[in-house]
Structure 1
Amino acid sequence: MDEPAVVRALSALVDGDVDLARREVAGGGSLLERALAEHLGGDGHGSVYDRPAAFEAFIRGGGNVPLYAAVGAVLADLYDSHRPASLLDVGCGDGTALLGALQAARHRPAHLDVLEPSPALLATALEQLHRWQQDGVPQTEVDSWPVTVQSLVSDLDTDPGAGRTWDLVQSTFALHAVDHDQRTAVLRDLRPSVGLLAVVEFDVPDVAVGSLDHLRFLARTYERGLAEYTDDRDLVAQGFLMPVLTGQLRPGAVRATFEQPATAWVRQLRETGWTDVTVRPVHDYWSSPAFLLTARGAAGSS
């Protein structure tokens, strides 16, 4: 049976044949076909950090509204049950998940570190944190890290005498942006400095990247995701979703995601020395179900 045009276009991208991909979606009628055609009408490259406004529109609309409400609730539960004095948010983005958790929790950490390599997103997160601090809540000391997590762990490794540790390190939909080998190194090197790790990610299907099953999954889910946006659809599509989609398929493109199933996350954490690794569901999202993974590090107890 012939595959839909958009699947054929994605297959052409895997083969590096952008001209064929353009022809497959030219004049297409579906949301994804039209979005992909517009994206490929340029050079078809780009990074999700090129247009931070697109990312902010994406997470503040569609299915992300109930998703981030659910994420904020489960993280707030962690704050209240483990009562961390120090908290590091790896890849905080514009602070949406972090602020939702802080506002929902009864417990406030005494010290908060926020790490985000995008200057624009970090500035927005810090602005939100400043407003939160002005609302009469107990003061939390905030430090910002405008670097990648790889840079952070490199600094920890080269300056072991600094003694920096965190009761809780959290990362929401950010560690999947680090490729598998680098992520393994990050998790291994971060473990001595962490009491408890909390990772929120998507439980994607266990299929090979670029395989026909993978392309069918992408075509189905991205069409569903685009349908959740109206006024901001073009901004979200061209500034975020299309770079994410094509980046994981097209040779030489800027890849923004290295997602893996929850079972692979568990295996990666255990192989890098983390203990008491547990997974719980968070929200049934349009792409894949979101889950919360927690694991014990080596920095005392939390």
Structure 2
Amino acid sequence: MGAVLTGVAGALAAYRAGDVGRARALAAESGTRLGAELATYWTDGTSGPVYDQPAAFTAFIRGGGNVELYRRLSEGLAARYDSWRPEAVLDVGCGDGLAIEPALAAATFQPSRIDLVEPSAALLSAVEVAGARRFPLTAQDFLGSDGSTWNLVQSTFAMQSIEPAARAEVLSELRSRTDRVVLAEFDVPEHADLASLAQRYERGVAEYGAQASLVAQGFLLPVLLGVAAGEARTNWEHPAAEWARQLEAAGFSSVTVDRLADYWWSPAVLITAS
């Protein structure tokens, strides 16, 4: 690995050790776009919870490699609607509807009831699904307050945002309330060193051109630092095999994993459990 990205990895190591000043200096000296964004972030301070910043999240999810990723995701969901014909669908962590809206538009079968759960009220308000019930709640709070059942529960890159112990409870609750669960997640390595994180996030930031700073400062860097330092985490990702194990532990007896798309972070997969 070259000296440039070693500098970013060194900055992440310094941050993990609690030396923000050294981390900022190493990042600034790295000569990379990621390093420059990190130096700015550590100078200006954090900017709040990542999913409460709709402009940054919207720019992230609608740009870069996400364009192709979500095209394939929506096609995959539409094919499943047409095959399974679920009358009632729950979307956990629907964001602003980027997955479910085009999936419904492409499908010939339309569910008669759609429930949308999204803790960010700002993102939920942007979803354009006519007649859907909307719940600006976490999955845990929603399932604890609503006794509905569904033919299909989907969650697209959202279950990773639930801490594993709480997620186990969510999955166990869903087992008794749905016929099928479909998760879109990333098949991440079991162990990722700081050099690998630096390399992959450098590629990710570079995909956003003029919007790179908005996306980096408002979304990518808080996620990166949560992963790198193990503090203030917003994501708990796993290899696909571990996602399958968690679903089986929750009581699902049939779990399949299908490759969805390559991505700068890690390959994306669709995991079906019934």
- The reply to whether TM is greater than 0.5 is yes
- The more displaced of 84-93 and 30-39 is 30-39
- Structure 1 residue 154 corresponds to structure 2 residue 154: no
- Structure 1 residue 190 corresponds to structure 2 residue 168: no
TM-score (norm 1): 0.86
How big is the shift at 1:100? 1.6
Residues 3-42 of structure 1: pairs in structure 2 closer than 5 A: 4-42=6-44
For residues 43 and 250 of structure 1, the distance between their equivalents in structure 2, rounded to whole angstroms, comes to: 16
Residues 96-245 of structure 1: pairs in structure 2 closer than 5 A: 96-125=98-127, 128-130=128-130, 141-156=131-146, 162=147, 164-207=148-191, 213-245=192-224
CA contact (8 A) 2:87 2:113 kept: yes
Structure 1: state its 5+ residue gaps: 131-140, 157-161, 208-212, 297-302
Which residue is equivalent to 2:57?
55
Tell me which amino acid in the other structure corresponds to 1:71.
Answer: L
- Which string of whole-angstrom CA distances, capped at 9 and with x for unpartnered residues, describes residues 258-288 of structure 1? 0111010001111111111110000011110
CA contact (8 A) 2:194 2:228 kept: no
CA contact (8 A) 1:282 1:291 kept: yes
Structure 2: state its 5+ residue gaps: none
- The more displaced of 42-51 and 267-276 is 42-51
- Which string of whole-angstrom CA distances, capped at 9 and with x for unpartnered residues, describes residues 131-161 of structure 1? xxxxxxxxxx3100100001122225xxxxx
Tell me which amino acid in the other structure corresponds to 1:233.
Answer: A
Which structure carries more relative contact order (alpha carbon 8 Å, separation 6+)?
Answer: 1
Which residue is equivalent to 1:300?
none
For residues 113 and 258 of structure 1, the distance between their equivalents in structure 2, rounded to whole angstroms, comes to: 24
Structure 1 residue ranges (4+ consecutive) displaced by more than 4 angstroms after TM superposition: none
CA contact (8 A) 1:16 1:250 kept: no
Q: How many residues align?
A: 272
- The more displaced of 165-174 and 40-49 is 40-49
For residues 50 and 42 of structure 1, the distance between their equivalents in structure 2, rounded to whole angstroms, comes to: 18
Tell me which amino acid in the other structure corresponds to 1:148.
Answer: T
Are residues 275 and 199 of structure 1, via their aligned partners in 2, closer, same or farther at CA, if it must alter by over 3 Å? same
How big is the shift at 1:254? 2.8
For residues 163 and 206 of structure 2, the distance between their equivalents in structure 1, rounded to whole angstroms, comes to: 29
Which residue is equivalent to 2:269?
291
CA contact (8 A) 1:202 1:291 kept: yes
Tell me which amino acid in the other structure corresponds to 2:117.
Answer: L
CA contact (8 A) 1:176 1:258 kept: yes
- Which string of whole-angstrom CA distances, capped at 9 and with x for unpartnered residues, describes residues 210-238 of structure 1? xxx42122111100111111121111110
Tell me which amino acid in the other structure corresponds to 1:42.
Answer: D
Q: Secondary structure at the match of 2:41?
A: helix
Among candidates 251, 254, 265, match of residue 276 of structure 1 = 254
For residues 246 and 15 of structure 2, the distance between their equivalents in structure 1, rounded to whole angstroms, comes to: 29
CA contact (8 A) 1:92 1:114 kept: yes
Identity of aligned residues (%): 46
CA contact (8 A) 1:47 1:254 kept: no
Q: Secondary structure at the match of 1:292?
A: strand
